[in-house]
A and B are shown apart, each in its own frame.
Chain A
Amino acid sequence: MMHSTAPPSTAPPRRDQPFVIRLTHWLNVPILLLMAGSGLEIFRAYPNFGPRGSLYRWYPFQGVQPPSFLRVGGWLAGGRHWHFALAWFLVLNGLIYVAYLFASGEWRRRVFIPQRDLAGAVRMFAFYTRLTRTPPATDFYNGLQRLAYSSVIAIGIAMILSGLAIYKPVQLHWLTALFGGYDGARVFHFAGLCLLGMFVAIHLIMAAAHPREIVKLINGGAKPGVPVDKPS
């Protein structure tokens, strides 16, 4: 049987994971690991929240240092050098991803749009928590996936802004004020790290449960126009 190599519809067909998405996704792995590790090295120098003389009472782990195997840089100066060096690559990688997302139209099948995705996200959550037995019908991504992937981009943006607020509390004092001041920005920045950590943990579990998705994120998935199941 002959397969047509021409695109079947008016919109050009796309691979599931285009090259730019694969590239930026995998670059995030070393960049985020080094950012988190060097960030914890910096945090170790003052593992508290709140200014001197009035630490925040609600934080239960005042003075608790992050363990050495989570830290990168060896000492405070080293941690700072790594953090402020890699931050540029994180921003650059994020900009490339977001620019590609919108320029290519990929955002349509990836970004969480409440009207389209909210109901599906709720039903998927109910399925994962075993409140219902059947998963909702899903197209490219399910609603919960879109919510997770869009949230993590929003968290990334908040991390960069709160990081800048800590880095430049005088030159960018308006930004620092937006986060409730210098010590407030430190709380936001650390909370962002915790949320990213939670995302990565769930992401790894989900990826382990769907190894085909990992393969697609390496080879891009089936080429458009090429039959999915080749006769041998």
Chain B
Amino acid sequence: MSLSISRRDLILGAAATSLLAGCDNRVSAAFLKGMEHWNERFQAALFSPQRLAPELPPGSETPERAFPNYFISDFQPEMPPNWTLKVGGMVAHPASFTLDQIQRMPSAAMRVRHHCVEGWSAVAAWKGVRVSEIAKIAGLDPRVRYVEFRSFDSGYWSSWDLPSAFHPQTILAYGMDGHPLPPGHGAPLRLYSAVKLGYKMVKYLTEVNFLPDRTGGYWEDQGYEWYAGV
């Protein structure tokens, strides 16, 4: 029996071993960055603006004490006096809205599963106004491609692609499980969406900016993926 191992076999073996070793840090970082871009294109291609997350039956809500509520401040952020939501960027009518004004806009509601980047899921019913509705009121410049959301939680923020922000299940929520949004979950107003991971949904909103260029976010700037669709 022949026991010879060809040069081609050795080269292939070496290539596989170096891939396993992760090669140089810069090489693997560039590889992962490239694959992240590829995955972002894949996710955007898979995204359908019409496809809805399944609505869950009444009573399927997670007990609220079991629904984690994360914030980055040392203490639970408190709504500043005279809170308003500032809508700006490349819009025809920049404006500030009180909570009362927002609650008088056409509302949307959904009871859907929440998906956290950590791997847990939970269910809640949300009520609010669609981001697309806000955009309609503000009057978008045709160059707008992204939306940025900012908060009073120590500057926590995120930015979104326009199609995900305009999904019918992407809302600025002021109601949760049939009552006003509790302080732990982002009172008075938070972003909620069925089509993104939790860290994209900015709580304690202060600003919505419609922009032509992509910006980042609190976790995104630290290395978490920007698109984060589900």
Kindly count the residue-residue contacts between A and B in the assembled complex, taking CB atoms under 8 Å apart: 125
B116: A residues at CB distance < 8 A: 46
Q: Are B1 and A182 in contact (CB under 8 A)?
A: no
Q: Are A33 and B2 in contact (CB under 8 A)?
A: no
Q: With the chains together, A217 CA to B147 CA distance in Å?
A: 53
Q: With the chains together, A45 CA to B118 CA distance in Å?
A: 5
Q: Are A29 and B16 in contact (CB under 8 A)?
A: yes
Q: Are A52 and B35 in contact (CB under 8 A)?
A: no
The 8 Å CB contact of B32, one of A30, A46, A82, A223, is: A82
A26 within 8 A of B: yes
A27: B residues at CB distance < 8 A: 16
A78: B residues at CB distance < 8 A: 223
Q: With the chains together, A177 CA to B113 CA distance in Å?
A: 13
A53: B residues at CB distance < 8 A: 62-63, 66-67, 122
B162: A residues at CB distance < 8 A: none
With contacts A30-B20, A77-B223 known, is A51 near B51, CB below 8 A? no
* Interface of chain A, main secondary structure: helix
Q: Are B1 and A212 in contact (CB under 8 A)?
A: yes
Q: With the chains together, A222 CA to B1 CA distance in Å?
A: 7
- Within B12-55, which residues are at the interface with A (CB < 8 Å)? 12-13, 16-17, 19-20, 31-32, 35-36, 38-39, 43, 46-48, 51, 53-54
Q: Are B35 and A88 in contact (CB under 8 A)?
A: yes
Q: With the chains together, A217 CA to B173 CA distance in Å?
A: 59
| Interface hit among A125-133, A138-146, A165-173, A199-207 | A165-173
| Interface hit among B3-11, B81-89, B98-106, B183-191 | B3-11
- Within B156-207, which residues are at the interface with A (CB < 8 Å)? 194-195
Q: Are B17 and A171 in contact (CB under 8 A)?
A: no
B145 within 8 A of A: no
A147 within 8 A of B: no
- Within A62-83, which residues are at the interface with B (CB < 8 Å)? 75-78, 80-82
Give min CB distance, A166 to chain B, whole Å.
8
Q: Are B46 and A168 in contact (CB under 8 A)?
A: yes
A52: B residues at CB distance < 8 A: 62, 66-68, 120-122
A137 within 8 A of B: no
A218 within 8 A of B: yes
Residues in chain B within 8 A of chain A (CB atoms): 1-6, 9, 12-13, 16-17, 19-20, 31-32, 35-36, 38-39, 43, 46-48, 51, 53-54, 62-63, 66-68, 113, 115-123, 194-195, 219, 222-225, 229-230
Other A-B pairs, 18, CB within 8 Å; known A46-B120, A53-B122: A29-B16, A30-B19, A46-B118, A46-B119, A53-B67, A54-B62, A76-B117, A78-B223, A80-B117, A81-B32, A85-B31, A167-B230, A168-B230, A171-B230, A212-B1, A219-B2, A219-B5, A219-B6
Top 9 nearest A-B pairs (CB, nearest first) are A53-B66, A85-B35, A30-B20, A46-B119, A45-B118, A52-B122, A170-B53, A53-B62, A77-B223
